[in-house]
Amino acid sequence: MDAAEFRRRGKEMVDYVADYLENIEKRLVYPDVEPGYLRSLIPTEAPLEPESYEDVIKDVERVIMPGITHWHSPYFFAYFSAASSYPAMLADMLCGALGCIGFSWAASPACTELETVMLDWLGKMLQLPECFIAGTHGSGGGVIQGTASEATLMSLLAARCKAIRRVQATNSNYSESDVLGKLVAYTSEQAHSSVERAALIGGVMMKQVPADNSYAVRVDMLKKMMEEDKAAGLIPFYVRQHTNQNKACQGVDDLYMCVLQFCATLGTTPSCAFDRIVELGPLCNEENIWMHIDAAYAGSAFICPEFRPLLNGVEFADSFNFNPHKWLLVNFDCSAMWVKKRTDIIGAFKMEPLYLKHENQESVFESLVRADKRFEICAEVIMGLVCFRLKGSNELNQNLLKRITDSREIHLVPCQLSGRFVLRFAICARTTESSHIQQAWRHITQLTFELLQEPSH
């Protein structure tokens, strides 16, 4: 499909989408199909010849729609709301076209920077304490996760890393898994299953605190549970010694359970109950327990002054999360997560292979490189990736790459192979032609010529 056909089909799709949403009430909100219905409607294998767009698009009503639960029908009252709005859909169209994979600043600076600033905007809309706002100099800040489940897992892993480092700082003979086996996290019996699942993945124990008759956790219940666990020999007497953080876990002979985290819920899934974080927060802070707040559904409401008091106590939290993709007109996926200390999260996952670092083919390319005796190919070329370098020092190649990057005509990243600094040339865009590759090579050799001309060489 070329751009001309996309202009036509894209506009047809816009009308189809608007028709669908305007007439959604006419459809069965919950589908009338049995498991396995779809397989019987289509071939068992992909076709060998392409089909026309018209034929493919007919499958939407024939095959897909009969099995759709219409989440945006006004007759849908199940689970929780999933947000959807026309502006968000327009934004998604644009994102799809840009198609950046923004895993680092350099991978696409606008992605990282827009995310940071928008999470500051959103945090201010919720009147989060300033420590959660990145600004130009803050230690905290927000990121977009895919789901609240992921945010919960991230918070648990950050807390785990922190706890392990804290114990090892005074007890260097303990391995990570020694400490891991002694970590316990608490959450409400009403909490979402993803909290338990985070503990499962993170390899820590999780205990469920009973809720009161409004299905909320109060501080006396958490205290009681911790006291019982202490009496059972599981929790050390850090309650008395809370001024010394390291006493959260004692010496060699008495490495009891360390309380890792309390995951509070504001707006539980079964009944939208609210854990009493105004009381729970101070306890967690005293005991050096990471408090994460899962407000997946209810968080959007905190923008309203009449609901903001339900968020009081967030100032005690280490991390806070809610889902604009539930109730704030942003289509899935968009789960907003804030932390007081970005370094807690970053430090837990620190990896820095060379192809992620930055400062600031087709056999055609391989042939071009091989034909130029100043260069060498560094690895067998089997697919769309050519690893090459100037014969010479790592520094020479670093200089060459810097010139390539600074001139902004083409974009490459480096890697390390056998201790050598190597340039990677990957064939990427669908529209890359031979001419682009030839042009890229001309550009590289021009910069090489200029580089080698310089007095230092």
State which residue, 250 or 268, has the beta carbon closest to a copy of itself: 268
Distances (CA, A) of 260 to 119, 270, 341, 348: 27, 25, 17, 15
Contact 203, 180 (CB under 8 A): yes
Rounded distance, CA 199 to CA 82, Å? 26
Query: What radius of gyration do the chain's Cα atoms show?
Result: 28
Least Å from the CB of residue 321 to a copy of itself: 17
Rounded distance, CA 72 to CA 383, Å? 44
Burial class (CB in 10 A: 0-12, 13-18, 19+), 56: exposed
Least Å from the CB of residue 312 to a copy of itself: 14
State which residue, 224 or 436, has the beta carbon closest to a copy of itself: 436
State which residue, 38 or 241, has the beta carbon closest to a copy of itself: 38
Least Å from the CB of residue 279 to a copy of itself: 18
State which residue, 19 or 254, has the beta carbon closest to a copy of itself: 19
| DSSP letter (8 states) at residue 243 | T
Rounded distance, CA 228 to CA 235, Å? 9
State which residue, 70 or 207, has the beta carbon closest to a copy of itself: 70
Least Å from the CB of residue 375 to a copy of itself: 15
Contact 315, 288 (CB under 8 A): no
Phi and psi based region of residue 317 (left: phi greater than 0; alpha: psi -120 to 50; beta: remaining): beta
State which residue, 169 or 356, has the beta carbon closest to a copy of itself: 356
State which residue, 284 or 295, has the beta carbon closest to a copy of itself: 295
Distances (CA, A) of 324 to 151, 290, 297, 319, 417: 13, 24, 8, 16, 43
Least Å from the CB of residue 39 to a copy of itself: 5
State which residue, 73 or 285, has the beta carbon closest to a copy of itself: 73
Going by C-alpha positions, the residue among 226, 272, 268, 217 that lies closest to residue 248 is 226
Report residue 361 as tokens: 């083919």
Rounded distance, CA 196 to CA 207, Å? 9
Q: What angle do CA 317, 321, 327 make, to 5 degrees?
A: 140
The DSSP bridge partners found for residue 207 are 186
Least Å from the CB of residue 287 to a copy of itself: 22
State which residue, 431 or 456, has the beta carbon closest to a copy of itself: 431
Report residue 329 as tokens: 């007109």
Task: Report H helices in 181-276.
Answer: 193-202, 219-231
Least Å from the CB of residue 243 to a copy of itself: 29
Annotate 103-131 with b (16+ C-beta within 10 A) or e (fewer). eeebebeebbeebbeebbebbeebebeee
Least Å from the CB of residue 50 to a copy of itself: 10
Report residue 142 as tokens: 């927000």
State which residue, 96 or 455, has the beta carbon closest to a copy of itself: 96
Least Å from the CB of residue 6 to a copy of itself: 4
The one-letter code for the residue type at 191 is A
